[in-house]
Amino acid sequence: MKTLVLNGSPRKNGDTVSLINVVSDSLEGDIRKVDTYFPEAEISPCIDCRYCRDKEGCAIHDGMDAVYAYIQECDNILVASPIYFSELTGRLLDFGSRLQTYYSARFFQHRVPIAKPKRGAVILVGGGDGDMGKAYDTACTLLTCMNCKEIYPLVFSHNTDKTPAVEDGSCLNGVKRIAGFFQFCRTHCAKL
Protein backbone atom coordinates (compact mmCIF):
# COMPACT_ATOMS: atom_id res chain seq x y z
CA MET A 1 0.00 0.00 0.00
CA LYS A 2 1.36 3.41 -0.98
CA THR A 3 0.19 6.68 0.57
CA LEU A 4 0.99 10.22 -0.51
CA VAL A 5 0.76 12.83 2.26
CA LEU A 6 0.56 16.50 1.30
CA ASN A 7 1.49 18.75 4.22
CA GLY A 8 0.32 22.36 3.93
CA SER A 9 1.93 23.62 7.15
CA PRO A 10 5.17 25.60 7.43
CA ARG A 11 5.56 24.55 11.10
CA LYS A 12 7.86 21.56 11.59
CA ASN A 13 6.22 20.51 14.87
CA GLY A 14 2.85 22.16 14.48
CA ASP A 15 -0.70 20.86 14.69
CA THR A 16 -0.84 19.49 11.15
CA VAL A 17 2.43 17.58 11.49
CA SER A 18 1.36 16.10 14.84
CA LEU A 19 -1.79 14.69 13.17
CA ILE A 20 0.12 13.47 10.11
CA ASN A 21 2.37 11.57 12.52
CA VAL A 22 -0.67 9.84 14.06
CA VAL A 23 -1.88 8.71 10.61
CA SER A 24 1.62 7.62 9.57
CA ASP A 25 2.07 5.55 12.75
CA SER A 26 -1.21 3.73 12.01
CA LEU A 27 -0.52 2.99 8.33
CA GLU A 28 1.24 0.06 6.76
CA GLY A 29 3.28 0.26 3.58
CA ASP A 30 5.14 3.09 1.93
CA ILE A 31 4.40 6.71 2.89
CA ARG A 32 5.70 9.62 0.81
CA LYS A 33 5.41 13.05 2.47
CA VAL A 34 5.51 16.30 0.54
CA ASP A 35 6.20 19.22 2.89
CA THR A 36 5.06 22.01 0.61
CA TYR A 37 6.69 24.81 2.67
CA PHE A 38 10.08 23.18 3.12
CA PRO A 39 12.81 24.02 0.60
CA GLU A 40 13.53 20.30 0.11
CA ALA A 41 10.18 19.95 -1.70
CA GLU A 42 11.47 22.17 -4.54
CA ILE A 43 8.03 22.60 -6.07
CA SER A 44 7.39 25.84 -7.92
CA PRO A 45 3.92 27.00 -8.95
CA CYS A 46 2.30 26.62 -12.36
CA ILE A 47 3.03 29.64 -14.59
CA ASP A 48 0.26 28.89 -17.11
CA CYS A 49 2.77 28.35 -19.93
CA ARG A 50 0.14 26.16 -21.67
CA TYR A 51 2.66 23.39 -22.42
CA CYS A 52 0.24 20.77 -21.05
CA ARG A 53 -2.62 21.86 -23.29
CA ASP A 54 -1.28 19.72 -26.11
CA LYS A 55 1.63 17.80 -24.56
CA GLU A 56 1.93 15.16 -21.87
CA GLY A 57 3.45 16.14 -18.52
CA CYS A 58 4.74 19.53 -17.37
CA ALA A 59 7.32 21.93 -18.81
CA ILE A 60 8.73 22.61 -15.33
CA HIS A 61 11.15 19.98 -14.02
CA ASP A 62 11.67 20.13 -10.27
CA GLY A 63 10.67 18.19 -7.16
CA MET A 64 7.26 17.63 -8.72
CA ASP A 65 8.70 15.09 -11.19
CA ALA A 66 9.00 12.49 -8.42
CA VAL A 67 5.59 13.42 -7.04
CA TYR A 68 3.94 12.97 -10.45
CA ALA A 69 5.48 9.47 -10.62
CA TYR A 70 4.25 8.62 -7.12
CA ILE A 71 0.74 9.91 -7.88
CA GLN A 72 0.53 7.34 -10.68
CA GLU A 73 1.27 4.41 -8.40
CA CYS A 74 -0.11 5.35 -4.97
CA ASP A 75 -3.31 3.96 -3.42
CA ASN A 76 -4.16 6.80 -1.02
CA ILE A 77 -3.71 10.56 -0.84
CA LEU A 78 -4.01 12.63 2.34
CA VAL A 79 -4.25 16.42 2.27
CA ALA A 80 -3.41 17.88 5.70
CA SER A 81 -3.27 21.62 6.27
CA PRO A 82 -3.90 24.56 8.54
CA ILE A 83 -6.60 27.00 7.50
CA TYR A 84 -5.28 30.40 6.36
CA PHE A 85 -8.04 32.95 5.84
CA SER A 86 -10.54 30.09 5.55
CA GLU A 87 -8.55 28.43 2.71
CA LEU A 88 -5.76 25.93 2.25
CA THR A 89 -2.33 27.52 2.71
CA GLY A 90 -0.50 29.30 -0.11
CA ARG A 91 2.18 26.72 -0.79
CA LEU A 92 -0.36 23.92 -0.84
CA LEU A 93 -2.30 25.88 -3.45
CA ASP A 94 0.98 26.35 -5.37
CA PHE A 95 1.37 22.57 -5.30
CA GLY A 96 -2.24 22.21 -6.43
CA SER A 97 -1.62 24.49 -9.41
CA ARG A 98 0.84 21.90 -10.75
CA LEU A 99 -2.08 19.46 -11.07
CA GLN A 100 -3.25 21.57 -14.01
CA THR A 101 -1.45 19.05 -16.26
CA TYR A 102 -4.08 16.45 -15.28
CA TYR A 103 -6.92 18.86 -15.94
CA SER A 104 -5.45 19.73 -19.35
CA ALA A 105 -4.99 16.05 -20.25
CA ARG A 106 -8.68 15.42 -19.58
CA PHE A 107 -10.26 18.53 -21.02
CA PHE A 108 -7.96 19.62 -23.84
CA GLN A 109 -6.51 16.27 -24.94
CA HIS A 110 -9.42 14.00 -23.94
CA ARG A 111 -6.94 11.64 -22.30
CA VAL A 112 -7.04 9.84 -18.94
CA PRO A 113 -3.86 11.01 -17.16
CA ILE A 114 -4.02 8.72 -14.10
CA ALA A 115 -5.28 5.17 -14.57
CA LYS A 116 -5.21 3.96 -10.98
CA PRO A 117 -8.14 5.03 -8.74
CA LYS A 118 -7.31 6.21 -5.21
CA ARG A 119 -8.85 6.94 -1.87
CA GLY A 120 -8.53 10.44 -0.47
CA ALA A 121 -8.88 12.16 2.89
CA VAL A 122 -8.53 15.67 4.30
CA ILE A 123 -7.38 16.87 7.74
CA LEU A 124 -7.72 20.59 8.54
CA VAL A 125 -6.74 22.57 11.64
CA GLY A 126 -7.73 26.10 12.58
CA GLY A 127 -6.91 28.47 15.43
CA GLY A 128 -10.55 29.50 15.72
CA ASP A 129 -13.88 27.82 15.09
CA GLY A 130 -14.76 29.23 11.67
CA ASP A 131 -16.30 27.33 8.79
CA MET A 132 -13.84 25.05 6.96
CA GLY A 133 -16.14 24.30 4.02
CA LYS A 134 -14.23 26.40 1.50
CA ALA A 135 -10.86 24.77 2.31
CA TYR A 136 -12.42 21.29 2.29
CA ASP A 137 -14.01 21.94 -1.12
CA THR A 138 -10.63 23.05 -2.49
CA ALA A 139 -8.90 19.99 -1.03
CA CYS A 140 -11.57 17.74 -2.60
CA THR A 141 -10.99 19.43 -5.98
CA LEU A 142 -7.27 18.61 -5.74
CA LEU A 143 -8.00 15.01 -4.68
CA THR A 144 -10.48 14.52 -7.52
CA CYS A 145 -7.89 15.91 -9.96
CA MET A 146 -5.51 13.16 -8.72
CA ASN A 147 -8.16 10.51 -9.42
CA CYS A 148 -9.45 9.96 -5.88
CA LYS A 149 -12.73 8.17 -6.44
CA GLU A 150 -13.69 7.95 -2.75
CA ILE A 151 -13.05 10.79 -0.33
CA TYR A 152 -13.45 10.40 3.44
CA PRO A 153 -15.54 13.05 5.27
CA LEU A 154 -13.55 16.00 6.65
CA VAL A 155 -11.56 15.42 9.84
CA PHE A 156 -10.71 18.68 11.63
CA SER A 157 -9.57 20.35 14.81
CA HIS A 158 -10.89 23.78 15.78
CA ASN A 159 -9.48 26.17 18.39
CA THR A 160 -5.84 25.13 18.16
CA ASP A 161 -5.01 28.57 19.62
CA LYS A 162 -6.31 27.16 22.89
CA THR A 163 -5.73 23.40 22.62
CA PRO A 164 -3.20 21.59 20.41
CA ALA A 165 -4.88 19.44 17.77
CA VAL A 166 -3.12 16.34 19.07
CA GLU A 167 -5.06 16.75 22.35
CA ASP A 168 -8.41 16.95 20.54
CA GLY A 169 -9.95 13.52 21.20
CA SER A 170 -12.64 13.63 18.55
CA CYS A 171 -10.11 14.76 15.92
CA LEU A 172 -7.73 11.96 16.94
CA ASN A 173 -10.54 9.42 16.51
CA GLY A 174 -11.22 10.82 13.05
CA VAL A 175 -7.55 10.67 12.12
CA LYS A 176 -7.38 7.01 13.16
CA ARG A 177 -10.51 6.29 11.13
CA ILE A 178 -8.78 7.76 8.07
CA ALA A 179 -5.97 5.23 8.58
CA GLY A 180 -8.62 2.47 8.71
CA PHE A 181 -10.29 3.79 5.55
CA PHE A 182 -6.95 3.73 3.70
CA GLN A 183 -6.06 0.31 5.09
CA PHE A 184 -9.40 -1.20 4.09
CA CYS A 185 -8.57 -0.56 0.47
CA ARG A 186 -5.51 -2.79 0.71
CA THR A 187 -7.35 -5.57 2.58
CA HIS A 188 -10.30 -5.39 0.22
CA CYS A 189 -8.08 -5.42 -2.87
CA ALA A 190 -6.11 -8.40 -1.56
CA LYS A 191 -9.32 -10.44 -1.47
CA LEU A 192 -10.21 -9.69 -5.08
Residues near ligand FMN, by CB under 6 A = 9, 11, 14-16, 82-86, 125-128, 130, 160
Which residues are registered as beta bridge partners of 122?
79
- Smallest gap, in angstroms, from Cβ of residue 128 to ligand FMN? 4
Give 33 or 53: the residue with its C-beta nearer to ligand FMN.
33
Give 83 or 122: the residue with its C-beta nearer to ligand FMN.
83
Q: How far apart are CA 157 and CA 169, in angstroms?
A: 9
Give 145 or 175: the residue with its C-beta nearer to ligand FMN.
175
Residue pair 1/185 in contact by the 8 Å Cβ criterion: yes
Q: How far apart are CA 154 and CA 156, in angstroms?
A: 6
Nearest to ligand FMN by Cβ — which residue?
A: 14
DSSP 183: H
Q: How far apart are CA 131 and CA 135, in angstroms?
A: 9
- Smallest gap, in angstroms, from Cβ of residue 87 to ligand FMN? 8
Q: How far apart are CA 127 and CA 158, in angstroms?
A: 6
- Smallest gap, in angstroms, from Cβ of residue 138 to ligand FMN? 13
Give 41 or 114: the residue with its C-beta nearer to ligand FMN.
41
CB atoms within 10 A of CB 112: 10
- Smallest gap, in angstroms, from Cβ of residue 64 to ligand FMN? 22
